[in-house]
Structure 1
Amino acid sequence: MTEQAPRIPSTHHPLAGEQMNGAEMVVQVLADEGVDTVFGYSGGAILPTYDAVFRYNERHRHDDGGDPMQLIVPANEQGAGFMAAGYARSTGKVGVFLVTSGPGATNTVTPIRDCMADSVPVVAITGQVARGAMGTDAFQEAPIVNIMGNCAKHVFLITRPEDVEATMRTAFEVARSGRPGPVVVDLPKDVQNWVGEFRGEGLLDIRGYRQRMESLRQAKLSERKCRQFFELLGHSSRPLLYVGGGVINSDAGDALTEFAHAFGVPVVTTVMGLGAIDTTDDLSLHMLGMHGTAYANYAVEDCDFIIAVGSRFDDRVAAKAELFAPMAEHVAHIDIDAAEIGKVKMVDWAHVGDAGRSLRQLVEFGRHEGFRRDFGPWLEHVRGLREKYPMNFDRDNPLIQPQHVLELLNGLTKGDAIVSTGVGQHQMFAAQYLDFHRPRQWLTSGSMGTMGFGLPAAIGAQFAHPDALVIDVDGDGSIRMNLGEMETVTTYNLPVKILLLNNSCDGMVRQWQRLYFEDRFSASDKSLHRKDFVKAAESDGFAFARRITDKSELADALEAFVSFAGPAFLEVVVDPDAGVYPMVGPGMSYREMVTGEHIGSRDHGEPDDRSDRLSQSEMF
């Protein structure tokens, strides 16, 4: 993982020995950890820490008048959590948010669980009532340890004021180490007001955890295991890299690309792994899974050796594990989390360790041993799949197709934008039709699928990358969840671009209702809702706020939208009946994938000569 800033050794900390209250110690540790942006909403139980941030900034004001520790106020605490997540996902650093007790803290449960599910490092500091009032149902009291215990990587409740420093430092250590995740620090108000000596050093004694992390850091592929891996690769004719978000979390994108090119192995990625390899790379087959490209899924059907790296065979990829990659004679798995090995799919070779380090060791061993294997016929085969079954949609429909919007946007951004999304059809269209040249450009709620994620995540990413083009691709259902954060965009004059694909429904729910519930659109039809999103954007101060309903106006509007200098909002009214295809139905195999009317299929539609299908006896 990329760390924020090296800790200052205790013997050199200029403030060691000074008297501080607990809140000031919290803020000083944040500064020592390199935190430059904190997202949060104030309240009574956290006011001492907010005051400490204010006073810290007064003392350390930049020459240009800017605050060394930006304090960003959202419309809702959930927004603060997702802003911190967007910051963390786009940088690899630990995101931080700061909220009050009771409802302030409970409003962050969803982002905490979202970060846990997608392995995102954040530290949430929640105010708590004074220790003497805990357990009395005091005003704005909530049992955060109990509530967050099953949602976070770890929860700390500080009951000894002397532990404030060590707890805060340890929270960052736990959040960023191993498999990253969210850590919650519950901070009673009287602990914030307590005054003591700042030591400038110290961590909590979490010996067992540190021993496990040290084992991971020391984990090295032995010569025997490297040789075993290359024996499997040498016996393979059709190897395939199956790559997940763990490659991005470990900053292993370069190592992955080097491995793929060193040995000529094509790559499919999960929705969380997009950007791990440049999606325009000749070896990239883009996304696999429920809504993966047809050619990626067919490659999975045809491969004989799956090499899983930082991926977990989840239900959106392997709904039935026994049907996933049915022709694969062997499965290898590299992951930082031992619990993922063999959890869903049995493997023949595995290594628990950092993805980047592991891939680099394999490359070094393979080159040193002079490994050679000609996968040329296999590469020609997968290129043929890509040419024969490309992504496509109803290009002749007079209504604006959402795929067309994303295709045009991709032509403008050329794979260089940071893109966040809400959750639903628009999320999958964006995943299918946008390119990403680098890791950490694609920010989406993968495992939890949290509607309302896109806009606050874009805000967090824009604060982390003030000069980058940041676009939130959203849906009318998702954006309503955190619509108040549109005002946050203009409050801070962020050049965030909000592209709203409005189909007047919960599109993915509607698609499932059409396929599996005989067109009974229960609660998914939003056509009677009266929200005027353009007026809402204008009322929040967006100087660029437009609605497009005519297909002929789309290209010019998108170009103006992307090139606008400040915050921009573009609503595109799209076909409510547009479906996301390909689609692998729940519990089905890739062989049963539905490609729709406009993407070729091996079993349905054109082309259908099946000349590209491999049989068990066809070996390269």
Structure 2
Amino acid sequence: MSGADIILRVLAEQGVDTLFGYSGGAILPTYDAVFRFNEACASHPERQIRFIVPANEQAAGFMAAGYARASGKVGVFMVTSGPGATNAVTPIADCNGDSIPVVLICGQVPRAAIGSDAFQEAPVFNIMSACAKQVFLVTDATKLEQTLRSAFEIARTGRPGPVVVDVPKDIQNWMGVYQGKGTLQFRGYSDRLRMVAKGSDLGEDKRARFFDLLRQSERPLLYVGGGVIAAGAAAELRAFSERYRIPVVTTLMGLGAIPAKHELSLGMLGMHGAACANYAVEDCDFLIAVGSRFDDRVAGGRPDAFAAGARYVAHIDIDEAEINKVKRTHWSHVGDAKHALRSLMEHGAGVQSPAGWLERVVELKQRHGMNYDRRSPLIQPQFVVEKLSEITQGRAIISTGVGQHQMWTAQFFEFVEPRSFLTSGSMGTMGFGLPAAIGAQLARPDALVIDIDGDGSIRMNAGELETASTYGVPVKVLLLNNRGDGMIRQWQRLFYEGRTFVSDKSLHQKDFVMAARADGFRFACRVEAISELEDKLKSFVKFEGPAFLEVMIDENADVFPMVGPGQSYSEMITGPFIPSRRTPEAGHQDAVRLNAADMF
């Protein structure tokens, strides 16, 4: 069969049921193979591979990422050479930053033309190598099948990530034999996987050392990241937390690992984390990091000041490179979070946090919990998210763009389950929310999927509104419109003496509701009065097809708490509605004194 047909055979073998992509000359042989594959499966429609065509290749990548994030399976997208491939760089980098398993299949100019500056030629291997887990340029047609199979294996194993396969057009047209088995051999990678698997059950001495540290501590705290969700370890985390009575703080990527209303959950920590969570980090004496990497949104520019009071730090991570990279540890384990937590629980019994620490945690939540201006006549974005959480009971898959709306969602939506919060964490990519929601909805058709977006972010990929209506994908788009790039404006007010250069969008003329209607949304409306909000939200959620709801929010609403550049958690700005451990006057003065910095 042709190389293109071999690609389809491997995709089917790997359980791929949905492809995302945009056409072009260098990938046409494989696109035609998709058509012929589905035609051959006409009598068995369940075997067919659905193909979704977005408005551009970047959105195809975000759809594949949303599919992977919501399902835990590998997302797949296919693009053509040149601009098709370069448009895919951002989603590949995004998936790499957040450890999301996707496979990108790129068309490439024929092998004989590579290096000749042929039409739509781009050095995909060189470009993608800097931002993908692995990149393959297929130059030996007989290894195409093994390369594709290896791509899936690499994407999903170890620390998950994006894999790129660049396939020249003449290899897609090449005729060869489909073997039905075989992968490429990577000694170093395979050895690392075997070492991690071998060490998944902690030795008795190592387990004993961990519980020795736990017995010595009076204020232990679990610091949980996206690695727990990637490992499918939410149940083990909850069991571990409950057995040893250890409170939990989560990163942005870790939201959903433990229910927001759980008695031991303090919410999100970090730059815009809950004050109670950040103060708990300040107070703890034993920090236990599980599937988290001490990134700058959490540890800031001063890792030494992060959890400065912790006598001991433990770290469990699948990636050895993360151990001691930012914060020095006293106990560490390289392995899968699920197996590590299970192994620890098999050893330790009867060790629990002191009652006084748990009482302090309750007090922190009561005194320094999330809050906002509840008396304003203007619609507060926090109230919108809070009300949506109440209506859905926290049981929805939520995607976001990037900016203030992303943080308000993380702070006020009470997530119940893992894989229910999809956001661009490491890269912070605007335009992520809508295509990711479409991918998630296709992965989990029975789920309620809502994109909570901002007017700045949604502009980046607004063309995907038409994609949702074209394919009848019943995503819900909730637009929080503050007529500007709100997070930029907030920083400009705090650090640039209020000069809102480029961030004020009040002069822009786009009518989002009319745009949604033009793109086929039968439910598309705007809310401008707080009295209308609840009823409109309920109708929006209940609508059976794609739905669009624009809410005109307070343009001056800010995201608090906030840990500014170079600050520690003890210097956190809590804003006017969340009590600080410092006097309000000191907090205000610090906010004014802070200088602009490179760290956003």
- The alignment status of 1:380 with 2:362, answered yes or no, reads no
Name the residue aligned to 1:4: none
Output one character per residue of 1:217-258: Cα deviation in whole Å (capped at 9) or x when no partner.
111311001000000000000000000001111111111111
Give the Cα separation in 2 of the matches to 1:533 and 1:575. Answer: 17
Match for 2:187 among 185, 207, 231?
Answer: 207
Name the residue aligned to 2:499: 520
Give the Cα separation in 2 of the matches to 1:341 and 1:594. Answer: 30
Name the residue aligned to 1:349: 331
Contact 2:219–2:353 (Cα < 8 Å) also in 1 = no
Match for 1:579 among 558, 561, 569?
Answer: 558
Name the residue aligned to 1:274: 255
Distance 1:417 1:62, change over 3 A: farther
Letter in 2 for 1:206: F
Give the Cα separation in 2 of the matches to 1:567 and 1:479. Answer: 16
Give the Cα separation in 1 of the matches to 2:237 and 2:136. Answer: 36
Letter in 2 for 1:255: E
Contact 2:266–2:277 (Cα < 8 Å) also in 1 = yes
Query: How many residues were matched structurally?
Result: 584
TM-score (norm 1): 0.93
Name the residue aligned to 2:215: 234
Contact 2:485–2:503 (Cα < 8 Å) also in 1 = yes
Give the Cα separation in 2 of the matches to 1:347 and 1:137. Answer: 50
Give the Cα separation in 1 of the matches to 2:248 and 2:565. Answer: 24
Q: What is the CA-CA distance between 1:604 and the residue it aligns to?
A: 3.0
Give the Cα separation in 1 of the matches to 2:183 and 2:270. Answer: 42
Give the Cα separation in 1 of the matches to 2:13 and 2:528. Answer: 51
Name the residue aligned to 1:330: 312
Output one character per residue of 1:142-173: Cα deviation in whole Å (capped at 9) or x when no partner.
00001101010010000011011000000001
Contact 1:426–1:473 (Cα < 8 Å) also in 2 = yes
Q: What is the CA-CA distance between 1:522 and the residue it aligns to?
A: 1.1
Name the residue aligned to 2:54: 74
Q: Which runs of 4+ in 1 moved over 4 A?
A: none
Name the residue aligned to 1:39: 20
Contact 1:62–1:68 (Cα < 8 Å) also in 2 = no
- The alignment status of 1:164 with 2:164, answered yes or no, reads no
Give the Cα separation in 1 of the matches to 2:138 and 2:166. Answer: 6
- The alignment status of 1:155 with 2:135, answered yes or no, reads yes
Output one character per residue of 1:46-100: Cα deviation in whole Å (capped at 9) or x when no partner.
001001111111111255x566210111010000000000000011110000000
Contact 1:470–1:497 (Cα < 8 Å) also in 2 = yes
Give the Cα separation in 1 of the matches to 2:101 and 2:405. Answer: 26
Contact 1:128–1:187 (Cα < 8 Å) also in 2 = yes
Contact 1:471–1:499 (Cα < 8 Å) also in 2 = yes
Match for 1:301 among 276, 282, 287?
Answer: 282
Give the Cα separation in 2 of the matches to 1:500 and 1:329. Answer: 45
What SS is found at the alignment partner of 1:195?
coil
Output one character per residue of 1:164-199: Cα deviation in whole Å (capped at 9) or x when no partner.
100000000110110000000000000000001111
Letter in 1 for 2:337: A
Q: What is the CA-CA distance between 1:214 and the residue it aligns to?
A: 1.0
Contact 2:220–2:353 (Cα < 8 Å) also in 1 = no
Letter in 2 for 1:337: D
Give the Cα separation in 1 of the matches to 2:291 and 2:155. Answer: 18
Q: What is the CA-CA distance between 1:467 and the residue it aligns to?
A: 1.1
Match for 2:205 among 224, 244, 248?
Answer: 224
CA RMSD of aligned residues (A): 1.1
Give the Cα separation in 2 of the matches to 1:523 and 1:357. Answer: 49
Match for 1:414 among 386, 389, 393?
Answer: 393
What SS is found at the alignment partner of 2:348?
helix
Distance 1:234 1:535, change over 3 A: same
- The alignment status of 1:251 with 2:229, answered yes or no, reads no
Give the Cα separation in 1 of the matches to 2:101 and 2:128. Answer: 15
Match for 1:591 among 554, 570, 573?
Answer: 570
Letter in 2 for 1:344: V
Give the Cα separation in 1 of the matches to 2:565 and 2:533. Answer: 35
Give the Cα separation in 2 of the matches to 1:579 and 1:223. Answer: 50
Contact 1:502–1:574 (Cα < 8 Å) also in 2 = yes
Can you give the 5+ residue segments of structure 1 that lack an aligned partner in the other structure?
Answer: 1-19, 609-620
Q: What is the CA-CA distance between 1:372 and the residue it aligns to?
A: 2.8
Contact 1:265–1:375 (Cα < 8 Å) also in 2 = no
- The alignment status of 1:361 with 2:343, answered yes or no, reads yes
Alignment of 1:529-540 (within 5 A): 529-540=508-519
- The alignment status of 1:292 with 2:273, answered yes or no, reads yes
Match for 1:146 among 98, 123, 126?
Answer: 126
Contact 2:4–2:172 (Cα < 8 Å) also in 1 = yes
348-357 or 389-398: which moved more?
A: 389-398
What SS is found at the alignment partner of 1:393?
coil
What SS is found at the alignment partner of 1:197?
coil
Contact 2:291–2:318 (Cα < 8 Å) also in 1 = yes
Contact 1:305–1:330 (Cα < 8 Å) also in 2 = yes
Contact 2:437–2:449 (Cα < 8 Å) also in 1 = yes
Letter in 2 for 1:398: P
Q: Among all aligned residue pairs of Structure 1 and Structure 2, give the percentage whose two residues are the same amino acid.
A: 63
Match for 2:483 among 476, 480, 504?
Answer: 504
Q: What is the CA-CA distance between 1:395 and the residue it aligns to?
A: 1.3
What SS is found at the alignment partner of 1:272?
coil
Give the Cα separation in 2 of the matches to 1:208 and 1:360. Answer: 27
Give the Cα separation in 2 of the matches to 1:106 and 1:357. Answer: 38
Contact 1:46–1:99 (Cα < 8 Å) also in 2 = yes
Give the Cα separation in 1 of the matches to 2:410 and 2:16. Answer: 31
Q: What is the CA-CA distance between 1:373 and the residue it aligns to?
A: 3.4
Give the Cα separation in 1 of the matches to 2:38 and 2:351. Answer: 59
596-605 or 487-496: which moved more?
A: 596-605
Give the Cα separation in 2 of the matches to 1:199 and 1:586. Answer: 56
Name the residue aligned to 2:597: none
Letter in 2 for 1:188: P
Contact 1:233–1:239 (Cα < 8 Å) also in 2 = yes
Give the Cα separation in 1 of the matches to 2:289 and 2:369. Answer: 24
- The alignment status of 1:59 with 2:50, answered yes or no, reads no
TM-score (norm 2): 0.96
Q: What is the CA-CA distance between 1:207 and the residue it aligns to?
A: 1.6
Name the residue aligned to 1:12: none
Output one character per residue of 1:197-222: Cα deviation in whole Å (capped at 9) or x when no partner.
11101111212111111111111311
